[in-house]
């Protein structure tokens, strides 16, 4: 299924549905709640619900990015350039930490 949604359309929907977001911290706090719901879904093995919770987090983060004046995809691309240039240590659980120079 090809998506027709993007940061602009999602932000517009949020504004139309909930009104203008005036403080990005409110949206971040809501995203934190959605992350807790995502954790519950993953721990329960409910992958259908997990997908929906991931979507909720993305929707909120798109709105935060728009409110802060940047494009999420551009920010991710810039961050990946930084990440690829770093040295990393593995923690053995699928995560790790970059080695500070």
pLDDT digits (tens, 9 = 90+) for 4-32: 999 999 999 999 999 999 999 999 999 99
Burial class (CB in 10 A: 0-12, 13-18, 19+), 13: middle
Tell me the domain boundaries of the chain.
7-93
* Annotation: CATH topology of 7-93: Helix Hairpins (1.10.287)
Dihedral angle sign, alpha carbons of residues 61, 66, 72, 78: negative
pTM of the full structure: 0.90
pLDDT of 96 strictly over 90:
yes
């Amino acid at each position: 299924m090809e998506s027709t949604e993007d940061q602009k359309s999602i932000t517009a929907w949020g504004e139309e549905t909930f009104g203008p977001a005036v403080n990005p911290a409110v949206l971040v706090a809501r995203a934190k709640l959605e992350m807790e719901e995502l954790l519950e879904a993953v721990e329960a093995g409910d992958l259908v619900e997990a997908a929906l919770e991931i979507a909720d987090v993305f929707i909120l983060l798109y709105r935060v990015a728009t409110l802060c004046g940047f494009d999420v995809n551009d920010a991710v691309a810039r961050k990946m350039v930084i990440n690829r240039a770093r040295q990393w240590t593995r923690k053995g659980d699928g995560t790790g930490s970059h080695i500070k120079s």
